[in-house]
Chains A and B, each alone.
Chain A
Amino acid sequence: MKYIDEFRDGELARGLSEAIRREARPDRRYHFMEFCGGHTHAISRYGVADLLPDNVEMIHGPGCPVCVLPIGRVDQAIRLALDNDVILCAYGDCLRVPASGGLSLLRAKASGGDIRMVYSSADAVELARQHPDRQVAFFAIGFETTTPPTAVAIKQALALGLKNFSVLCCHVLTPPAMMAILNAPERIAIEGFVGPAHVSTVIGSRPYEPFAQQYGKPVVIAGFEPLDVLQAIRMLVRQVNDGRAEVENEFTRAVDRDGNRKAQALVDEVFELREIFEWRGLGVLPNSALRLRPAFAEFDAELRFGSAYQPVDDHKSCECAAILRGLKRPTECKLFGNVCTPENPVGSCMVSSEGACAAHYTYGRYRDA
């Protein structure tokens, strides 16, 4: 597969691994947070940690939209299906997230809810078109990569004059989440960030510049493949060694400073900022999430069905919050691996294959043995 296989080459990986080993100063420790869940997955799935020297450590960040989705939001989706007889369309990732009352979207489906997995928001619009007698709602989760597709779907529904299509909008933004990590009262050692790959193709590299400037933390945007991640880590090591704090771009084949202006404009046309939004693990953050603009209010599922968000507490012993902030490791959660497993997830970090807990459990727990 072109542009994929070459970036997974074992020989080149060895070379990069050696380079990191050479450049990492033996007298210091490096802690980098990979913000994006896709990177967490790649690191675990390829065993990248085995290719890093002991003094370079990766901390998993909150960039997994399933992991930061609060229980209350999944509840809203479930209620639409069970109470309002809506055809609820969702991406595969969120079907297993545990919500209130022992339910998940998958369990709600087993209870009779008409819940359908879709690959694309366009498929939800198509379903609405095919079933004019039913209400179809799309559970729109995701960071800035996934938001433009939702915008397109809404405009499509408008153009088609669909009266039975709506969106439960839970799209969130990356920079506020990064800021929440940097502003955290607890001091965790993070010397730099591996910036998200595909979010950056949409938003460009510019939004990260304040973090480098104001917080003095280097950010290197990395492509999606393991070689990209290794190279980005190497670039971070160099910045730290040099005492620099800049935004660098490793993913030059798909990211530039401006990003995708067309996608940004579409998002801006359809969505506006929510003043506040609750994130799992990061708490309530201002201007960190989106809702539909008044011009598109007819497609807002929360308005159409009077669906309101009710905050729900996480399980008392669930450490997802601390883990999402990089404060704790999965193995430091009392529930990890015994009560909370991928089969029976207590928190969402264990559901998504990009959650720190699931990634560690699925790919890396042999290291704990």
Chain B
Amino acid sequence: MRDYSRPLDLKNGRVEMAHGAGGRAMAHLIEALFARRLDNEWLAQGDDGAVLPAPGAGRLVMATDSHVVSPLFFPGGDIGCLAVHGTINDVAVMGARPLWLSAAFILEEGFPLGDLARIVDSMALAAKEAGVPVVTGDTKVVERGKGDGVFITTTGVGILPAARELSGRRARPGDAILVSGTLGDHGMAIMAGRDSLGFESPILSDTAALHGLIDALHECGAELHVLRDPTRGGLATTLNEIARQSGVGMLLQEKAMPINPLVAAACEFLGLDPLYVANEGKLVAICAENDALALLAALRAHPLGVHAAIIGSVHEDPNHFVQMATTLGGKRIVDWLTGDQLPRIC
């Protein structure tokens, strides 16, 4: 291990262009801030790429996600753990067991090193708890004003057993639609910190790695057709995607939607619909009708699925509408999200 003349100044130091230039400063940053914290045999080697064992039987799944969340630190999480959870989840909802992650950072000149350390610590903890190491990474620095503090892109690789086939195309008429828990938590936790729109509340982001929960679902023996994690655009967007991919319609029960009363209240304040608000630790599961109760039980038995619910069913519909029976007894469509969900005054 090389010795550096001075330790990184995490208290007052900031990211400088030199940290991305490929020279000694960058090597120092990588070693002291990234490798030491993310701490695994691959990063310790300090090579350009990680040499990994080829998986045996089965197929590979690869997924990638860029994270540009603002604010970087929010109630319940930060961009670091979000980056780890998000990509693990993308791999896991394909039915694969996540194996390894890569992480690429784009840092803005002037970004406090202390904050960067916090973010990397958070990533390290998330990766450790999930059992999915960050085996390789990259760092670039852009000039002040050209980046929003830090952007992180993570790519994940997993192994998919031969027999398993999960896809957005597999929802069939008669299937049951389930969600693993309360909707809209992440988006509203983020919104709380926004300048003009902000509010005070104990809402926490639900960011979590879901592969453990998903394992439990595979083990319960239910005939799973679709698994997806509803992130940006909320549950409504995810269901519309699946409806279109599978060429079916859906009917949801508003009464059955699990929503944290705090999230409901925050949405009321701003005129937002929780069905369109982002989640980062929730699953949508679509399964054969007869397996709905078994799947629900498996979800609820797991700490990340305690508020799981059956929220609707799939039916034939050439228009691929996602409809909902409202609490009032009427019906409406739950349509695609249009643009960004903007808070209403009217």
16 contacts between A and B (CB under 8 A): A8-B327, A8-B328, A17-B329, A45-B332, A46-B326, A50-B331, A51-B330, A123-B195, A226-B328, A343-B339, A352-B346, A353-B344, A362-B333, A364-B332, A366-B331, A369-B321
Q: How far is the CA of A66 from the CA of B92 in the complex (A)?
A: 43
Contacts of B333 in A (CB 8 A): 362-366
Q: Are B330 and A342 in contact (CB under 8 A)?
A: no
Contacts of B330 in A (CB 8 A): 46-51
Q: Are B327 and A10 in contact (CB under 8 A)?
A: yes
List the one stretch of A112-120, A256-264, A265-273 in contact with chain B: A112-120
Q: Are B319 and A93 in contact (CB under 8 A)?
A: no
Within 8 A of B (CB), among A88-146: 91-93, 95-96, 106, 116-120, 123, 142, 146
Contacts of B346 in A (CB 8 A): 37-38, 41, 64-66, 93, 142, 352, 354
B258 to chain A, nearest CB (A): 16
Question: With A4-B268, A96-B339, A119-B270 known to touch, is A46 a contact of B344 (CB < 8 Å)?
Answer: no
The answer to whether B46 has its CB under 8 Å from any CB of chain A is no
Question: With A45-B326, A119-B270 known to touch, is A92 a contact of B331 (CB < 8 Å)?
Answer: no
Question: With A47-B331, A369-B321 known to touch, is A95 a contact of B326 (CB < 8 Å)?
Answer: no
The answer to whether A361 has its CB under 8 Å from any CB of chain B is yes
The answer to whether B323 has its CB under 8 Å from any CB of chain A is yes
The answer to whether B52 has its CB under 8 Å from any CB of chain A is no
Contacts of A120 in B (CB 8 A): 196
**Residue picked from B343, B344, B345, most chain A C-beta under 10 Å:** B345
Q: How far is the CA of A362 from the CA of B196 in the complex (A)?
A: 27
Q: Are A119 and B342 in contact (CB under 8 A)?
A: no
A326 to chain B, nearest CB (A): 18
A-to-B contact residues, CB < 8 Å: 1, 4, 8, 10, 13-14, 17, 37-38, 41, 44-51, 64-66, 91-93, 95-96, 106, 116-120, 123, 142, 146, 226, 342-343, 352-354, 361-366, 369
Contacts of B261 in A (CB 8 A): 1
Q: How many residues of B contact A (CB 8 A)?
A: 29
Q: Are B326 and A1 in contact (CB under 8 A)?
A: no
Closest-by-CB residue of B relative to A52 is: B330
Contacts of B195 in A (CB 8 A): 123
Closest-by-CB residue of B relative to A66 is: B346
A34 to chain B, nearest CB (A): 13
A50 to chain B, nearest CB (A): 4
Contacts of A66 in B (CB 8 A): 346
Q: Are A343 and B268 in contact (CB under 8 A)?
A: no
Closest-by-CB residue of A relative to B325 is: A47
Q: Are B343 and A44 in contact (CB under 8 A)?
A: no
Q: How far is the CA of A13 from the CA of B325 in the complex (A)?
A: 14
Within 8 A of A (CB), among B101-129: none
The answer to whether B294 has its CB under 8 Å from any CB of chain A is no
Contacts of B338 in A (CB 8 A): 342-343, 362
Contacts of B319 in A (CB 8 A): 366, 369
Contacts of B344 in A (CB 8 A): 92-93, 353-354
The answer to whether B256 has its CB under 8 Å from any CB of chain A is no
Closest-by-CB residue of B relative to A67 is: B346
Interface 1/0 per residue, B179-198 and A, CB below 8 Å: 00000000000000001110
Question: With A93-B344, A123-B195 known to touch, is A48 a contact of B328 (CB < 8 Å)?
Answer: yes
Q: How far is the CA of A72 from the CA of B330 in the complex (A)?
A: 38
Contacts of B316 in A (CB 8 A): none
Q: Are A142 and B329 in contact (CB under 8 A)?
A: no
Interface 1/0 per residue, B312-327 and A, CB below 8 Å: 0000000101010111
Q: Are A93 and B345 in contact (CB under 8 A)?
A: yes
Contacts of A226 in B (CB 8 A): 328
B36 to chain A, nearest CB (A): 40
Contacts of A65 in B (CB 8 A): 346
Contacts of A4 in B (CB 8 A): 268
B235 to chain A, nearest CB (A): 15
Contacts of B18 in A (CB 8 A): none
Q: How far is the CA of A343 from the CA of B196 in the complex (A)?
A: 25
| New contact pairs (10) apart from A17-B329, A38-B346, CB-CB < 8 Å | A1-B261, A10-B327, A41-B346, A47-B325, A48-B328, A117-B343, A118-B196, A142-B346, A343-B339, A363-B332
**Residue picked from B265, B328, B338, B346, most chain A C-beta under 10 Å:** B346
The answer to whether B335 has its CB under 8 Å from any CB of chain A is yes
